[in-house]
């Protein structure tokens, strides 16, 4: 179909959707969550490589033991009372975002015999228009579970799969405090072809 | 050109992050109530249920809507005609309930012209996210009884016998009108989804 204003415009947010500290998942409760503290940052870009400013980035994830707080998750690993696993932020004028969180654990999911999800963080991003909307998952480099995970491999092109894997970022790793991973997210532009999942 | 990041399924556990609705220690960025104190236009409720290909309701689905205001303007600076004097955002989000149900309280959008300047009938744009789907689906909701449906350029592209999957029925209701449309992700009654 031809795009009309319905498809080519999209929600715009002031800062009211994001509260101070919503991008730090380690300070939402009385105590500090268990696990390995990490920084996850990057840029939201359009297909021309330009940063997408002031756009909302939401994430959710399992805790360090691979357990979600979601009521349906029955994986027998402990819930962490100091970790919900949800965050949001807005990109800055250059499209940059930054979160502080805990590295999520792998978890079994019963899809097939001995099925384990590689550690991942779910991302939800808006972009310039309602059709640039993206929900994806960020993975960690070198995960041995990659070859066995049907969700990761639902993206059939190897190069496209690689774009879901964050890079270890030593330069932005904070000494004595937290490792850093960089995850850039590229959204469809206004003239993109219909989304196939590559 | 940078290559786009692939889409992945929203999975079964997004609710505490995206649609916590008071059930988790996290607040909702968005709700299913788009009505703001200053908005003008006809208040309506749009509701329905989401079904999978087996006809089972989908209780862990997320539906988002994007729409123009009653004057047919979008709350986005890219719509150069947008009115600055209302806080109406035109965006809503709803997680389906145990019966697959969704609902939005909003105002009926006005008409928006297509790129040729032809008026389109009032409609909502929907994005549907669900476990097991690699990519979210887009569709539109039109309003039964609106005379403009007969000349809407997009509805004209849809075979007549499938058009009803895009047109919400007006239910008898006291007070504000209630429009109802079920969404079928697959199967014989599959909703017409848009290749945007």
CATH number at residue B157: 2.60.130.10
Pairwise pLDDT comparison (A16 vs A192), residue with the higher score: A16
CA nearest neighbour of B18 among A74, A87, A119, A23? A87
CA distance A96 to A184: 9
pLDDT, residue A109, reads 95
Q: With respect to residue B8, please indicate whether it lies within any of the assigned structural domains.
A: no
Q: Which residues of A are known to be catalytic? A: 68, 107, 117, 120, 122
Checking ipTM against 0.90, whether it exceeds it is: yes
Tokens, residue A158: 């190897």
DSSP class of residue A167 equals: E
- Number of Cβ pairs < 8 A linking chain A and chain B: 178
Question: Do A68 and B194 make contact, defined as CB atoms within 8 angstroms?
Answer: no
CA distance A194 to A124: 19
The residue ranges of chain B whose pLDDT is under 70 are: 83-85
- Average pLDDT value over all residues in chain A: 93
Q: How far is B178 from chain A (nearest CA, A)?
A: 22
Helix (H, G, I), strand (E, B) or coil at B151: helix
Q: Which residue has the tokens 């009884």?
A: B145
Range of lowest pLDDT (A180-184, A194-198, B41-45, B189-193): A194-198
DSSP class of residue B93 equals: E
CB B46, CB B179: distance < 8 Å: yes
pLDDT, residue A168, reads 98
Q: Domain total for chain B?
A: 1
Q: With respect to residue B90, please indicate whether it lies within any of the assigned structural domains.
A: yes
Query: Which homologous superfamily is A5-186 in?
Result: Aromatic compound dioxygenase (2.60.130.10)
CB B94, CB B103: distance < 8 Å: yes
pLDDT in tens, A17-56: 899 999 999 999 999 999 999 999 999 999 999 999 999 9
pLDDT in tens, A54-101: 999 999 999 999 999 998 999 999 999 999 999 999 999 999 999 999
pLDDT, residue A14, reads 57
Q: With respect to residue B166, please indicate whether it lies within any of the assigned structural domains.
A: yes
Q: Which domain holds residue B111?
A: 15-184
């Amino acid at each position: 179909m031809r795009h009309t204003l319905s498809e080519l415009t999209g929600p715009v947010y002031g800062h009211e959707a994001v509260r101070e500290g919503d991008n730090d998942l380690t300070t939402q409760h009385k105590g500090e969550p268990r696990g390995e503290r990490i920084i996850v940052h990057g840029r939201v870009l359009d297909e021309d490589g330009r940063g997408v400013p002031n756009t909302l980035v939401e994430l959710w994830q399992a805790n360090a033991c691979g357990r979600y707080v979601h009521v349906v998750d029955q994986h027998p690993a402990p819930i962490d009372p100091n970790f919900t696993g949800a965050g949001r932020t807005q990109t800055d004028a250059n499209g940059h975002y930054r979160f502080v969180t805990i590295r999520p654990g792998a978890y079994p999911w019963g899809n097939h015999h001995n099925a384990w999800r590689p550690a991942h963080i779910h991302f939800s991003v808006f972009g310039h228009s309602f059709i640039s909307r993206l929900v994806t998952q960020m993975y960690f480099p070198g995960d041995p579970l990659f070859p066995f995970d049907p969700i990761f491999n639902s993206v059939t092109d190897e190069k496209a799969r690689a774009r879901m894997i964050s890079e270890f970022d030593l330069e932005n790793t904070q000494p004595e405090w937290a490792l850093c991973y960089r995850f850039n997210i590229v959204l469809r532009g206004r003239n993109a072809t219909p989304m196939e999942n590559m | 050109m940078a290559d786009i990041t692939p889409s992945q399924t929203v999975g079964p556990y997004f609710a505490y992050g995206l649609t916590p609705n008071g059930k988790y220690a996290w607040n909702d960025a968005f709700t299913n109530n788009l009505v703001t104190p200053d908005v003008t236009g006809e208040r309506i409720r749009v509701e329905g249920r989401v079904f999978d290909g087996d006809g089972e309701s989908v209780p862990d689905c997320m539906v988002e809507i994007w729409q123009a205001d009653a004057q047919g303007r979008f709350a986005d600076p890219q719509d150069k005609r947008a009115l600055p004097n209302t806080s109406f955002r035109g965006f809503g989000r709803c997680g389906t309930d145990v019966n697959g149900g969704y609902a939005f309280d909003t105002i009926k959008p006005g008409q928006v012209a297509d790129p040729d300047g032809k008026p389109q009938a009032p409609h909502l744009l929907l994005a549907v996210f669900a476990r097991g789907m690699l990519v979210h689906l887009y569709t539109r909701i039109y309003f039964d009884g609106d005379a403009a449906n007969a000349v809407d350029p997009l509805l004209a592209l849809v075979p007549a016998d499938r058009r009803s999957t895009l047109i919400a029925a007006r239910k008898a209701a006291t007070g504000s009108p209630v429009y109802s449309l079920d969404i079928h992700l697959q199967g014989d009654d599959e909703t017409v989804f848009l290749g945007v």
